[in-house]
């Protein structure tokens, strides 16, 4: 099976088998759908003037993006190739967020200001048939920012979710001290892109006067990164400069290789695609499984209550069945013959069952009502209040997943009714396990 076939197969099965379950348990499937439906993506983010657009132009081999010393670009530009029936052109944000072919329809929610700051450039470059590069506005300090008019970190987060590689660029002058960069690394990326998808780059290193200066800048960046990520180990940081901008390379000739390696890494992003899709599917499945697990626990507790109600109905119904006709005969002179008497005298007829059956029915209805109107809502309420008890939280990984999905369980438990009391959860749980064991394992072995 080649990569395309495998991708199609994953896409089909995830949509057929997983999406109905995800929707049933109130998950938003749009981010997974966006990842499944489009081509590999490289997102380039970082400080203003750190050389993002210069790098994009180098990759494309021509001046496509505007570059400049001050904050130059305040828009997101998605660069990819046109479909066979299309020609090179620019697609404005307003069209882009309404075009179902692209995974950007959910970005509409960021509003007009964002929509006017995003566009797609279609270029006839063969390597862009299977790759999209997103150039982004430079990150600013909050003091210098006049207000972007949309939630910038959220937008970066949504693009990062789509991306197979996130290239995070710094320059020696601002080695990690920019406010928006700080927020992105600290809060946005850990939620949206796994660590191995992030590529750290310090560009423009030619602007360090000498090696000592470069080492100082590198040290500052490492220190700032460890503060931002909380990681003790230093990630690989590509130390590069643009060979198209810099003529006099002086002591830097050893570093030319870094630029080549960085470009190779970016061009190799499509190879990470299947892996990243599987990673996202895996993550979603684990979240789904935990919700279903919680609902199965809820169902089990509900079943115990239901059994108790049935037992109560039986123990109250039995005396009613046997003796209610004694009372009604004594008080209303009806029926003329009680059920027990008819059995003892072997004169039983169907009429002897009217009052006992009526008694059992009334008792059952009363207990049913009591269960529906009193026991069940109380049980829902109790479970909502102690929602953490519905699952076992015995390791940090599960605690982390639970913090993301608890809201789904609370929402499912917000409407007391029989729907959530069904055996369906147990069945769904087995279906999910089946998907993990059969489908997912097979995809991992084929990739």
Ligand X SMILES: Nc1nc2c(ncn2[C@@H]2O[C@H](COP(=O)(O)OP(=O)(O)OP(=O)(O)O)[C@@H](O)[C@H]2O)c(=O)[nH]1
Q: In 21-88, which ranges are E strands?
A: 41-46, 76-80
Residue 50 touches ligand X, criterion: CB under 6 A: yes
**How many residues make contact with ligand X (CB under 6 A)?**
22
| Sign of torsion over alpha carbons 59, 61, 67, 72 | negative
Q: Which is nearer to ligand X, 48 or 443 (CB)?
A: 48
Q: Which stretch binds ligand X (CB under 6 A): 21-29, 50-58, 179-187, 438-446?
A: 50-58
Q: Which stretch binds ligand X (CB under 6 A): 70-78, 286-294, 341-349, 362-370?
A: 70-78
Among 164, 206, 280, 325, binds ligand X (CB under 6 A): 206
CB of 440 to ligand X, least distance (A): 39
Residue 259 touches ligand X, criterion: CB under 6 A: no
Query: Is 404:434 a contact under the CB 8 Å cutoff?
Result: no
- Give the Cα separation of 137 and 118 in Å (integer): 10
**Per-residue binding letters, 61-90, with Mg ion (x by CB under 5 A):** ------------x-----------------
Q: Which stretch binds ligand X (CB under 6 A): 241-249, 277-285, 347-355, 382-390?
A: 241-249
Residue 53 touches Mg ion, criterion: CB under 5 A: yes
Number of helices and strands in the chain (H, E):
18, 8
Structure tokens at 183: 């927020």
Task: Restricting to residues 125-164, name those near Mg ion by CB under 5 A.
Answer: none
> Minimal CA–CA distance to 335: which of 324, 321, 346, 347?
324
Residue 312 touches ligand X, criterion: CB under 6 A: no
Q: In 267-408, which ranges are E strands?
A: none
Among 203, 217, 224, 296, binds ligand X (CB under 6 A): 203
DSSP code for 129: G
CB of 67 to Mg ion, least distance (A): 6
DSSP code for 70: S
What are residue 134's phi and psi, to 5 degrees? -110, 115
Provide the pairing of β-strand 118-122 with 76-80. parallel
Residue 230 touches ligand X, criterion: CB under 6 A: no
Q: Which stretch binds ligand X (CB under 6 A): 156-164, 212-220, 240-248, 276-284?
A: 240-248
Query: Is 285:431 a contact under the CB 8 Å cutoff?
Result: no
Which residues are at the interface with ligand X (CB under 6 A)? 48-54, 67-69, 71-73, 138, 203-204, 206-207, 241-242, 245-246
């Amino acid at each position: 099976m080649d990569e395309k076939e495998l991708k199609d197969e994953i896409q089909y099965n995830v949509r057929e088998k997983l999406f109905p379950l995800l929707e049933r348990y109130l998950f938003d499937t749009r981010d997974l759908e966006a990842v499944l439906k489009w081509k590999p993506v490289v997102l380039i983010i970082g400080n203003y003037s750190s050389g993002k657009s210069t790098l994009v132009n180098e990759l494309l081999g021509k001046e496509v993006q505007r570059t400049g010393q001050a904050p130059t670009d305040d828009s997101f530009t998605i660069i990819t190739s046109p479909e066979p029936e299309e020609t090179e052109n620019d697609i404005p944000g307003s069209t882009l967020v309404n075009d179902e072919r692209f995974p950007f329809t959910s970005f509409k929610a960021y509003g007009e200001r964002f929509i006017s700051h995003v566009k797609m450039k279609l270029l006839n470059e063969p390597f862009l048939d299977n790759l999209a590069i997103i150039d982004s506005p430079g990150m600013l300090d909050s003091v210098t920012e006049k207000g972007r008019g949309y939630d910038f970190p959220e937008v970066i987060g949504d693009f990062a979710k789509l991306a197979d590689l996130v290239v995070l660029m710094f320059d020696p002058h601002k080695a990690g001290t920019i406010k928006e960069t700080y927020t992105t690394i600290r809060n946005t990326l850990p939620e949206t892109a796994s660590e191995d998808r992030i590529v750290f780059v310090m560009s423009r290193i030619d602007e360090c006067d000498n090696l000592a200066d470069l080492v100082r800048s590198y040290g500052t960046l490492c220190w700032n990164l460890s503060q931002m990520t909380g990681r003790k180990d230093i990630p690989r940081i590509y130390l590069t400069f643009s060979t198209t901008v810099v003529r006099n390379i002086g002591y830097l000739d050893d570093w030319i290789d870094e630029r080549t390696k960085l470009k190779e890494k970016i061009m190799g992003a499509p190879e990470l695609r299947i892996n990243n899709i599987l990673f996202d599917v895996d993550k979603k499945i684990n979240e789904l499984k935990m919700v279903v697990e919680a609902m199965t626990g809820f169902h089990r507790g509900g079943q115990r209550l239901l059994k108790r109600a049935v037992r109560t109905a039986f123990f109250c119904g039995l005396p009613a069945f046997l003796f209610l006709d004694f009372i009604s005969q004594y008080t209303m002179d009806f029926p003329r013959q009680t059920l027990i008497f008819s059995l003892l005298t072997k004169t039983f007829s169907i009429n002897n069952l009217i009052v006992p059956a009526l008694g059992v029915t009334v008792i059952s209805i009363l207990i049913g009502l009591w269960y529906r109107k009193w026991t069940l809502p109380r049980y829902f309420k109790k479970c909502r209040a102690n929602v953490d008890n519905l699952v076992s939280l015995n390791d940090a990984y599960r605690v982390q997943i639970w913090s993301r999905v608890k809201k789904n369980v609370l929402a499912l438990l917000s409407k007391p009714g029989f729907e959530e009391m069904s055996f369906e959860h147990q069945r769904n749980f087995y279906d999910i396990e089946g998907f993990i064991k059969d489908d997912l394992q097979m995809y991992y072995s084929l990739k």
